Structure 1
Amino acid sequence: MQLKSFAIDENLKELTKHHTVIMPIAYYQTTINQNIHGHIPLHWHDEIQFVLIVKGKANFQVNEDRLEVREGDGLFINSGCLHMAQEKDQTNCVYICLNLSPFFVLSQELYTTYVKPYIQATNLPYLYIDSKESWGKKITVAILEIYQCLERKSEYYEIDTTTQLALLWKNLIDNGFQLEYIEAEKIKSQRFKQMISWIHEHYADKIMLEDIAKAGQLSRSECCRYFKRLLRCTPFKYVMEYRIHKSLLLLQKDNSNITEVAYQVGFNSSSYFIKEFKKTMKMTPLAFKKKKGLNGQI
């Protein structure tokens, strides 16, 4: 299954239903540059995620860390962690993805001992899966096996999937990772999500730095430090880029008016909107519409 876009609510939480009819697991293949944004935007979900790069290279960000994931390697992203991805060096990156409920990893009797400590660890937002390592190779093989089981749905595929999933998890926790539980780290993550959530709820309104900081229960200077550390940008730059991304869906409506779209997403003039849109998307709104085969008006 190819996924080109997915819905995200005002809290950055992904709304894609991560399950099949029988099992709480989603599987899909993504070509990063085919996403409506040209990349996978910042989001999070309750499910844990396993990624396997099958073509090219990608730059991922998980919470405040950035890393390159190469073809053949993978990535484990923990529950509730903010993450985004974009292809690297125009490699037309393609990856397969498994998103699943932590409660589905092992039986209920084993969950408390072998899953819950890893889901709650504050020093495990992600784990790079290096296929050159023995444990990493076993995990990447298991990811591919699970994806193929779910895609083909051959006889007993549910049993095959759960068997591979148990092997995958055993190899992940068997690599000797020392877990930490720091309450302050959880609070930081929650405050940042609160600020992002506030922006997503009020992006079309006039936004002041004080408002964003207040949403995260922070001072203005500390708010700016959060954004610089986590997103490498100012709060207002994030607001600007989010407004542009919100405009993409509106612009894809046939005969949409560019000036009206500008005001709908929080700009006070169409010229300023066009300028910022071009800066972010490397084309004008009108060129974007023409690329999508749509008619438009200024």
Structure 2
Amino acid sequence: MDPQLKSTLKESRIHSGHLQPFGAYHMEYGPGEHVLDCHWHEESEIFLVLEGEVLFQLDEEHFPVRAGEAVFIDGGDIHAGHALGGAGCKFFALVFGAGLLTSAQYDIIQDQVILPFQERRVTFPRLIQPSGSAGQELLKHIQAMMTACTVKPPGYEAAVKGRLLLMLQELAVSGMACDRSLNRSGSAVKLERLKKVILHIQQHYDRPIRLQELADLIPMSEGQFCRFFKSMTGQTPVDYINSYRIRQAAEMLRVEDKKISDIALEVGFDNISYFIRVFRKIMKCPPSAFRKGISP
């Protein structure tokens, strides 16, 4: 995979560091909202739906995830999702690097458990459901990690690491392990086309972007391109561009003192009223309230 293209969807958020080797997040979204725009990160992720239902995308695969079910995302996988139904959704996400699990020295655990996981030769099912005893055990570990990350008792980081190791042990005894070490060449062309378009959007979001301009990158007709993009991301190209621009604006509102009108122009909106309307739709509050920290 072209390193430049692969970087296009890479999430910029730092989930872990030297002393904090994982990130834990509780999120809530309204009906039909995009839970995740298309992106990827080096770390693996466990996504547990607490309420509602989410239509999840992993590469080209789409499937619903209901309350009480979890998704496992291997490091490097493109993923996205949006809330289904009329009630919105709540979820917990744990994002961790494989380095969290490595041994201090190369031992049998590193050789037979951690290395196969790092190489994706032994990894979790995409969808983890409570329909069997093994799935129930995996979900119990995930729920225990969520509780630990919420309450944060002394040493909770060790509990998270221990639970992840126990989950890998459950794979070994249950026969649920999946081998995703082989490239799926059938979807590679579509994914590379998508990354090329996203790269262009991320490099030029601060100026007007025409649909035909994006379609010419593949190349496709404008109609074909819109259908392709929607099938790959679950969003129209305009919705994706607006969402990307608004998230850039939100970050600027957090850290900069510029006028809201200036920020709107810098992220590609030439109509301030339209910017405020789109911002409110995506962020559930106007830019002024977001800057003040007043949000739902």
TM-score by structure 2 length? 0.71
Please tell me the root mean square deviation across aligned C-alpha atoms, in Å: 4.1
Q: What CA deviation, in whole Å up to 9, does each residue of 1:76-97 have, x standing for no partner? A: 1123222234555446614142
* In structure 1, C-alpha distance between the alignment counterparts of 2:178 and 2:91, rounded to whole Å: 28
Which residue of 96, 101, 105 maps to 2:98? 101
- Inter-CA distance 30–85: structure 2 relative to 1 (3 Å threshold): farther
Which residue of 107, 119, 133 maps to 1:116? 119
Deviation at 1:266, TM superposition (A): 0.9
8 Å Cα contact 1:74-1:131 kept in structure 2: no
Which residue of 183, 189, 195 maps to 1:193? 195
Deviation at 1:278, TM superposition (A): 4.6
What residue in structure 1 maps to residue 248 of structure 2? Answer: 246
- Inter-CA distance 282–161: structure 2 relative to 1 (3 Å threshold): closer
**1:14-53 maps to which residues of 2 (within 5 A)?**
14-19=11-16, 21=18, 25-33=21-29, 39-53=35-49
Deviation at 1:226, TM superposition (A): 2.5
* In structure 2, C-alpha distance between the alignment counterparts of 1:290 and 1:111, rounded to whole Å: 44
* In structure 2, C-alpha distance between the alignment counterparts of 1:93 and 1:52, rounded to whole Å: 9
- Inter-CA distance 56–237: structure 2 relative to 1 (3 Å threshold): closer
Which residue of 39, 52, 57 maps to 1:57? 52
Find out whether 1:73 has 2:69 as its counterpart: yes
* In structure 2, C-alpha distance between the alignment counterparts of 1:133 and 1:14, rounded to whole Å: 34
- Inter-CA distance 58–127: structure 2 relative to 1 (3 Å threshold): same
Provide the identity percentage. 22
AA in 2 matched with 1:192: L
* SS class of match (1:230): helix
**1:282-297 maps to which residues of 2 (within 5 A)?**
284-286=286-288, 288-289=290-291, 292=294
* SS class of match (2:8): coil
- Inter-CA distance 273–219: structure 2 relative to 1 (3 Å threshold): same
What residue in structure 1 maps to residue 220 of structure 2? Answer: 219
Find out whether 1:274 has 2:276 as its counterpart: yes
* In structure 1, C-alpha distance between the alignment counterparts of 2:117 and 2:284, rounded to whole Å: 47
* In structure 2, C-alpha distance between the alignment counterparts of 1:61 and 1:271, rounded to whole Å: 32
- Inter-CA distance 102–226: structure 2 relative to 1 (3 Å threshold): farther
Runs (4+) of structure 1 exceeding 6 A deviation are none
* SS class of match (1:247): helix
* In structure 1, C-alpha distance between the alignment counterparts of 2:9 and 2:53, rounded to whole Å: 21
8 Å Cα contact 2:121-2:179 kept in structure 1: no
Q: What CA deviation, in whole Å up to 9, does each residue of 1:145-203 have, x standing for no partner? A: 5566785427975883564142244367x237686743131232233123212211210
* In structure 2, C-alpha distance between the alignment counterparts of 1:183 and 1:129, rounded to whole Å: 25
Deviation at 1:244, TM superposition (A): 2.4
Which runs of 5 or more residues in structure 2 are unaligned?
Answer: 1-5, 103-108
